[in-house]
Amino acid sequence: MTTTQGRPVLPSVILETEHLRLRAFVEDDIDDVYASCSDPGIQRWIPLPGPGVPYTREDAEAWCRETAPGVRTGGEGQQWAMVEQETGRLVGSVGLVRVLWTAMTTEVGYWVSPWGRGRGYATEAAVAVSRWAVGQGFQRVEIKAATDNTGSRRVAERAGFGFEGVERSAMPLHEGRADLAVYSLLPADLV
């Protein structure tokens, strides 16, 4: 790993799974990112770009061109575009966020495009990214999901994360706040 501003920088890698290719976001992803992130199903649980702020095409452009690549180069984590192996179409996003280098902990975050839902892509991506993170030396990987977001909670469970408890009123949404179910994966869980 290299460093930037005193923080490690994760290597730029492409991860391959049975159905997905996890790669960096590119210019050609902008339209699909915009269509995905402005979808009410995603907006319900992830207040992109911020609580009470509508998602715009300019937000998608910034995400693909600056924000997603900047997460890695700034030592803050890493973001991957979930791309269907068969079609080459973007079907979601998965990333390592909230990296605490001193503790070697991180969180897996994801969203799935409306046209990619119900196929197990989030679980497949969460497994790949969390195992890769453990291979990079992380000692704790978390997934947090709104307690009422049963789909996202199922992803954590199917990816082998253990439920730990609930953070009350932990996430602002477009309307109100959500309690977050906390799941974790430790290297010892994979032995």
Alpha carbon distance 185, 168 (integer Å): 21
Residues of the chain with pLDDT under 50: none
The whole-number pLDDT of residue 7 equals: 81
- Which one, of 126, 114, 184, lies nearest residue 159 by Cα? 126
- What percentage of the chain carries pLDDT values higher than 90? 96
The whole-number pLDDT of residue 5 equals: 66
Mean residue pLDDT across the chain: 96
The whole-number pLDDT of residue 191 equals: 87
The whole-number pLDDT of residue 42 equals: 97
The whole-number pLDDT of residue 4 equals: 66
> What pairing do the DSSP bridges indicate for beta strands 7-9 and 2-4?
antiparallel
- Which one, of 64, 134, 63, 148, lies nearest residue 96 by Cα? 134
- b/e sequence 105-125, b meaning 16+ C-beta within 10 Å: bbbbbbbbbebbbeebbbbbb
Alpha helices in 63-103 (DSSP H): 68-73
Q: Encode pLDDT of 54-109 as tens digits.
A: 999 999 999 999 999 999 999 999 999 999 999 999 999 999 999 999 999 999 99
Q: What is the pTM of this model?
A: 0.95
Contacts of 153 by beta carbon, 8 Å cutoff, 6+ apart: 145, 147, 181, 183
Kindly state the tokens that stand for 125: 């991506």
Q: Which CATH class is domain 15-189?
A: alpha beta
**Domains of the chain, residue spans:** 15-189
Alpha carbon distance 107, 95 (integer Å): 8
